[in-house]
Structure 1
Amino acid sequence: MDKEKIDEITGLFRETIRKAIEEGNIEKIIAKDAVTFFYNKSRFPGIVYRLRNLELAMLLFDSGSVICTGAGREEFVVNAKDRLIEKLKEFDINLKSEPTIKLQNIVASTMFYPKINLDMFADYDENTEYEPEQFPGLIYKIAEPKTVMLVFRSGRIVITGAKSVKFAIEASRMTKKAIVDAKALIHE
Structure 2
Amino acid sequence: SESRAEPETGASNIVSTVNLGCPLDLKFIALQARNAEYNPKVGVYVHKIREPRTTALIFSSGKMVCTGAKSEEQSRLAARKYARVVQKLGFPARFLDFKIQNMVASCDVCFPIRLEGLVLTHQQFSSYEPELFPGLIYRMVKPRIVLLIFVSGKVVLTGNQVQHTHTHAQ
TM-score by length of 1: 0.67
* In 2, Cα distance between equivalents of 1:65 and 1:130: 38
Where is the helix percentage greater, Structure 1 or Structure 2?
1
User: Which residue is equivalent to 1:49?
Assistant: 47
Query: How many angstroms apart in 1 are the aligned matches of 2:73 and 2:164?
Result: 16
CA displacement at 1:156 relative to structure 2: 1.0
- What does the per-residue CA deviation read over 1:88-109, in whole Å, with 9 as the maximum and x for residues that have no partner? 12322222x4333222322211
Superposed counterparts of 1:20-169, under 5 Å: 36-42=35-41, 44-95=42-93, 97-126=94-123, 127-163=125-161, 165-169=163-167
In 2, the alpha carbon distance for the partners of 1:159 and 1:86 equals: 32
Partners of 2:155 and 2:47 in 1: how far apart? 29
Structure 1 unaligned residues grouped into runs of 5+: 14-34, 174-188
Q: 5+ residue gaps in structure 2?
A: 1-21
Structure 1 residue 149: deviation in Å? Answer: 0.5
Q: Write 1 or 2 for the structure with the bigger share of strand.
A: 2
Question: Which of these two proteins has the greater Rg computed from alpha carbons?
Answer: 1
Shift of 1:69: 1.5
Question: Size of the alignment, in residue pairs?
Answer: 148
Structure 1's 63 and 163: CA in aligned 2 closer, same or farther, altered over 3 A?
A: farther
Structure 2: which amino acid aligns with 1:111? D
Alpha carbons 1:145, 1:162 under 8 Å: kept: no
Higher relative contact order (CA 8 A, sep 6+): 2
Q: Distance in 1 between matches of 2:159 and 2:76?
A: 20
Aligned-residue Cα RMSD (Å) equals 2.3
Shift in alpha-carbon separation, 1:159–1:131, aligned structure 2, 3 A: same
d(CA) in 1 for partners of 2:31, 2:95: 26
